[in-house]
């Protein structure tokens, strides 16, 4: 079986929606509701991809992404940032944190799945 996909989101409704969307495509999904938990998870286990909210309490998604890139197990793991912040700096800050892509909320499930499949295929 392929490595699971990690979804990191502090909003419970969004976390459940993203998890269900990804599961409906046949992927195994693990979840975290804060940056600290996500960092612990990516330092101890490999993931096929990470879907990562930017606005997390205490440790934001940018820092989590930087930590993913510095982890031995997940340094090459695709990271797709999720955000409701539709401002020009988001793309730049996401690139600086070494994310692969950004998806703006609200998003269409097809958009998220298309991006995820693109990165999993490469």
Q: What is the pLDDT of residues 45-62, one digit of tens each?
A: 999 999 999 999 889 999
Range list of β-strands (E), 20-117: 29-32, 49-53, 79-83, 101-104
As given in the structure block, the two tokens for residue 48 are 């096929």
**Locus of tokens 């693109």:** 118
Asked whether the beta carbons of 53 and 31 are under 8 A apart, the reply is no
pTM here is 0.94
Share of the chain above pLDDT 90, in %: 80
pLDDT the model gives residue 1: 54
Please name each of the domains of the chain with its CATH number.
5-121 (3.40.50.2300)
Q: What is the pLDDT of residues 91-116, one digit of tens each?
A: 888 988 999 999 999 999 999 999 99
């Amino acid at each position: 079986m392929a490595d699971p996909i990690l979804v990191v989101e502090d909003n419970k409704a969004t976390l459940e929606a993203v998890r269900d969307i990804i599961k409906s495509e046949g992927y195994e999904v693990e979840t975290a509701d804060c940056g600290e938990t996500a960092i612990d998870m990516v330092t101890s286990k490999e993931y096929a991809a990470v879907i990562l909210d930017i606005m997390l309490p205490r440790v934001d998604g940018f820092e989590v992404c930087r930590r993913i890139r510095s982890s031995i197990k997940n340094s090459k793991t695709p990271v797709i940032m999720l955000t409701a912040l539709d401002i020009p700096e988001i793309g730049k800050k996401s690139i600086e944190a070494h994310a692969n892509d950004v998806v703006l909320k609200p998003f269409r499930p097809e958009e998220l799945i298309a991006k995820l499949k693109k990165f999993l295929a490469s």
